[in-house]
Structure 1
Amino acid sequence: MKRALLALALLSVPSALPAAGEEALIGRWNTQKQGGVVEIHRCGQALCGRVVDGAPLRANPDQRDTRNPDKALRGRRVMGLRVLHGFTGGPREWKGGPLYDPETGDGAKSGTLTLVDASTLKVKGCLMAFLCRTQTWTRVR
């Protein structure tokens, strides 16, 4: 019962969700894997995201993008690597792409960022309309 009342109280607080628009996404987000953190920021008229932390990076800050399918890109550093690019829209859903996962070397030409609540973001990358993968990210406090 206390949890239900707390949840109801949080829903009634206007500041529970950051300002509408791109401001709601800007900041640092914990990814699902290896303690990763992606910082979403403005890049021109859109939003982009770059790697700013992760367990492998704490062990080796000079880690390289060795799983990239493009051999010419395997020498770039993972720290600071852009993994989201060109997302526009809002206030709850942004579309754009490409997206990239340096842990696996997988990329997606397009994707969707869906703000579930102030601290939960669904990140969906699609190779084709029916071939997609989704992760749930949580806001860094």
Structure 2
Amino acid sequence: MRRGFMVLAAAVCAVLTPVPAAAQDGDAILGRWRTSAQNGVVVIERCGVQLCGRLADAAALRANPDQRDVRNRNTALRDRPLQGVLVLQGFSGGPQEWSGGPLYDPETGQGAPTGTLKLVSADRLAVRGCIAPLLCRTQTWTRLR
């Protein structure tokens, strides 16, 4: 009887203990994602209260780990290392869709001031960058386990 009461009390405490909303809503998108270009890998993580994404790997980095951001339109940034560069910044929302920006494409050196991240399924992410309301590009990324 006493053991049964302890199990019941533990179950009640587990159900009644609140889980922070941010942990529930934003964590589904966190992790490593394979991009559709250059076989890249972006790590999406928390940057303060918002989400950001950093380039962790790409074909160019496997060929030359010291690869620089040579295609960047800002000539002052062309000497920075490509590995670890922020490609997603300032995203908030969830649990299925986040909005923010800017986004950066190191393959072309171009950026988009705004965009959305939409979790299509647990393992598929639609990444959309827009330079104007009707001028957008979408890529589908897949989760790496």
Q: TM-score range by the shorter chain?
A: 0.7 to 0.9
> In the alignment, is residue 43 of structure 1 matched against residue 44 of structure 2?
no
What's 1:30 paired with?
34
Opposite residue 42 of structure 1, the aligned amino acid is: R
Q: Which residue does the alignment assign to 2:86?
A: 82
Query: Matched residue of 2:36: which SS?
Result: coil
Letter in 1 for 2:89: H
Distance in 2 between residues matched to 1:42 and 1:118, nearest whole Å: 18
Q: 1:52 is matched with which residue?
A: 56
Root-mean-square deviation over aligned CA pairs: 0.9
- The yes-or-no answer on 1:137 pairing with 2:126 is no
Task: Give the AA of the match of 2:118.
Answer: T
Q: Does 1:95 align with 2:93?
A: no
In the alignment, the residues of structure 2 paired with residue 106 and residue 20 of structure 1 have an alpha-carbon distance, to the nearest angstrom, of 33
TM-score w.r.t. structure 1 length?
0.85
Q: Aligned-pair distance for 1:54?
A: 1.1
* Equivalent position amino acid for 1:123 in 2: V
8 Å CA contact 1:46, 1:86 repeated in 2: yes
Cα distance in 2, alignment partners of residues 54 and 22 from structure 1:
25
The SS at the match of 1:21 is helix
Equivalent pairs, count: 123
Structure 2 Cα separation of the partners of residues 106 and 70 of structure 1:
9
Secondary structure of the structure 2 residue equivalent to 1:66: coil
The separation in 2 between residues aligned to 1:81 and 1:137, in whole angstroms, is 18
Q: Identity of aligned pairs, percent? A: 63
Q: Give the secondary structure class of the aligned counterpart of 2:69.
A: coil
Whether the 8 Å CA contact 1:21–1:91 is kept in 2: the answer is: yes
1:123 aligns with 2:127: yes
Instruction: State the TM-score, normalized to the length of structure 2.
Output: 0.83
The aligned amino acid for 1:22 is G
Q: Which entry has the higher C-alpha Rg, 1 or 2?
A: 2
Unaligned runs of 5+ in 2: 1-22
Q: CA deviation at 1:20?
A: 4.3
CA distance in 1, matches of 2:47, 2:76: 24
Work out the CA distance in 2 between the residues paired with 1:56 and 1:72: 20
